[in-house]
Amino acid sequence: MTAETSGPELRWAIEAAQDKQAAAITLLDLSGLGAFTEAFVLCNGFSTPQVEAIAEAVEDKLRERGIRPIHREGPHGAEWVLLDYGRFIVHIFTERLRQYYDLERLWRAARRTDIVEPSSGISAADGSGLYLQPGLKRGSPA
């Protein structure tokens, strides 16, 4: 699964996180791993208010298109918010908690795509508006 093959919902979630300056945005493709979802979107906020702002932006962007999360975890002021959309789950962490839980290590068998800011000038070839970290290929293991 990539942001392009999963339908626009995953791309909208990533774009909403980018709009709120989320850091270290990573897509883990869990398809074929027997997981309970097809993908994780992981990103960082630099403070608990930013974590909440990113979560609200993702929820708002998808809600505008009639898509609501099945489940949400993380109260206001939390260092980790989880938005479960069924086919994919968005995890928004503070840097400290992302390092602590290290989902990339736990799901290291997943194909990993790191998304970087548009200012880097490295864009996806398909015009999706998503930006790949230099040296990584979409769908390749990390």
pLDDT at 70 exceeding the cut of 70: yes
* Predicted pLDDT of residue 121: 42
Q: What is the pLDDT of residues 109-140, one digit of tens each?
A: 999 999 986 554 434 433 445 544 433 444 44
CATH superfamily of 8-115: Beta Polymerase, domain 2 (3.30.460.10)
**Annotated domain spans of the chain:** 8-115
3-state secondary structure the chain: CCCCCCCHHHHHHHHHHHHCCCEEEEEEECCCCCCCCCEEEEEEECCHHHHHHHHHHHHHHHHCCCCCCCEEECCCCCCEEEEECCCEEEEEEEHHHHHHHCHHHHCCCCEEEEECCHHHCCCCCCCCCCCECCCCCCCCEC
pTM: 0.80
pLDDT at 24 exceeding the cut of 70: yes
